[in-house]
Chain A
Amino acid sequence: MCGVCGCSGGGAKREHAHGHEHDHGHEHDRDHAGAHGREHGHGRPHDHDHGPGHDHGRGRDRDDDQGPPRAAAVPVPGREARVVRLEREVLEKNDRLAERGRGWFAGRGVFALNLMGSPGAGKTALIERTIREAGGRPEVVVIEGDQETSRDAERVRAAGGRVVQINTGAGCHLDAAMVLSALPGLDPPPGSLLVIENVGNLVCPALFDLGEGARAVVCSVAEGDDKPLKYPHMFRRADAIVLSKVDLLPYVPFDRALFFARAREVNPRARLLEVSATRGDGVGAWLSWLREALPGRVSPP
């Protein structure tokens, strides 16, 4: 495809008369916007405003561009390969948007929690329980991230929480732009706790900063006690590691002490918690951890 105008002509690569390499043999001349429309089938109007860095070969009049393409025998000044040092973080754009969100949360006094874990780990159940137990102190608002459906949003709403559902389609994680786009609709009030339930996945969400104030990873006893070592990136970057569904401990082969030892090995700093969202075990400690993190420090009722 032509790197200049985007048209997809066929034919062998050849050097253009005015100095850029082309896959096909049309000319870029002063009058070519119209010519493109007829001869190359461009679907949209465009012009070729050649910016800086595009050298048209000294000593060659642009009007020379009329006529058949030239062979690329003569090196064209300005066409030498040049190396551009970038030294840029790959995720710079996401990180920048995440910082924007973080500033917005700080300015409004909202505490954002990035809640991660496998599908079925019990993230939504924990959110439901958190909303009910918190009783409005703090108000809990939720961003739900799933590939498809709004089932989790409906659950959160039924539990009394305001919620915005984001469907990522094929996407395996939320990113900062998605979170920012959800904020105007959600409008989290000052002093609230914003829980961002990430897409169920122990791998990809670890890399994407959402602007959160803290990260928690939820892992259920049914998943096995080896998960911190198997998915160390996720567990390493968490501020809290929450073992969930502890009411099922009598029924599954799960070594609780070994799980927490492995969690410590990967992440010596995280707060270690255990809950049963259905029975209520450990929910008080979980809420205390959240309230400690809240900007306005909401005291328990």
Chain B
Amino acid sequence: MHELAITEQIVEAVSARCGEGERVTRVVLEIGKLAAVVPDALRFCFDACAQGTPLEGARLEIVETPGVARCGACGGQVLLDRPFGHCGCGSSDLEWLSGEELRIREMEVI
């Protein structure tokens, strides 16, 4: 359940960017398909971690980015929904292009 520790980091980072008396109404995260983080688990932790912070009551939006890799053998692009796989040409020599994102994109404050 590393999502709990990760959510705590999110709440801490966002709180630190709040001005005095500001309240966070929305947080937008970008989570890659290959980031080893389960969005539903983050949502589950978010409300609990936000309590008593400027994020209390904030809406959590999660943008999921697909896992995309380039094949080292044929140069083709491969869509990955798990952290390993094969290209259509048979090669498993894959360079990941996206899917490992674990970022706080933006926050809305009032």
Known: A229-B84, A236-B83. A3 touches B2 (CB 8 A): no
Residues of A within 8 A of B54 (CB): 3
Residues of B within 8 A of A88 (CB): 13, 103-104
**Smallest Cβ distance from B29 to chain A, in angstroms?**
7
**Smallest Cβ distance from A82 to chain B, in angstroms?**
6
**Smallest Cβ distance from B19 to chain A, in angstroms?**
3
**Smallest Cβ distance from B85 to chain A, in angstroms?**
9
Known: A229-B84, A236-B84. A85 touches B105 (CB 8 A): yes
| Pairwise interchain contact A82-B109, C-beta atoms closer than 8 A | yes
Chain B residues with a Cβ closer than 8 Å to the other chain, count = 36
Known: A3-B54, A79-B110, A94-B9. A86 touches B105 (CB 8 A): yes
Residues of B within 8 A of A54 (CB): 19-22
| Pairwise interchain contact B9-A93, C-beta atoms closer than 8 A | yes
Residues of A within 8 A of B109 (CB): 81-82, 84
| Pairwise interchain contact B83-A86, C-beta atoms closer than 8 A | no
* CB contact between B102 and one of A19, A50, A79, A89 (< 8 Å): that residue: A89
| Pairwise interchain contact B83-A89, C-beta atoms closer than 8 A | no
Residues of B within 8 A of A207 (CB): 2, 6, 36-37
| Pairwise interchain contact A86-B2, C-beta atoms closer than 8 A | no
* Interchain CA distance A238-B103 in the complex, whole Å: 23
With CB as the reference atom, state the residue of chain B lying closest to A6: B52
Known: A53-B22, A86-B14, A89-B102. A21 touches B110 (CB 8 A): yes
* Interchain CA distance A92-B10 in the complex, whole Å: 10
Cβ contacts A to B, 26 pairs, < 8 Å: A3-B21, A48-B20, A50-B21, A53-B20, A54-B21, A82-B108, A83-B107, A84-B106, A84-B109, A85-B106, A86-B107, A88-B104, A90-B103, A90-B104, A91-B9, A91-B102, A172-B2, A172-B5, A173-B5, A175-B5, A204-B1, A204-B2, A207-B2, A207-B6, A207-B36, A233-B36
Is A61 in contact with chain B by the CB < 8 A criterion? no
Q: Which one of B29, B36, B56, B109 has the greatest number of beta carbons of chain A within 10 Å? A: B36
**Smallest Cβ distance from B65 to chain A, in angstroms?**
14
What would 9 more interface pairs be, CB under 8 Å, given A4-B21, A172-B2? A3-B21, A21-B23, A48-B20, A49-B20, A81-B108, A84-B106, A90-B104, A94-B9, A203-B2
Query: B-side interface residues toward A, CB under 8 Å?
Result: 1-2, 5-6, 9-10, 12-14, 17, 19-23, 25, 29, 36-37, 52, 54, 56, 82-84, 92-93, 102-110
| Pairwise interchain contact A90-B2, C-beta atoms closer than 8 A | no
Residues of A within 8 A of B37 (CB): 207
Is A265 in contact with chain B by the CB < 8 A criterion? yes
* Interchain CA distance A104-B57 in the complex, whole Å: 41
| Pairwise interchain contact B83-A81, C-beta atoms closer than 8 A | no
With CB as the reference atom, state the residue of chain B lying closest to A13: B57
Q: Which one of A49, A54, A90, A229 has the greatest number of beta carbons of chain B within 10 Å? A: A90
With CB as the reference atom, state the residue of chain A lying closest to B107: A84
| Pairwise interchain contact B92-A268, C-beta atoms closer than 8 A | yes
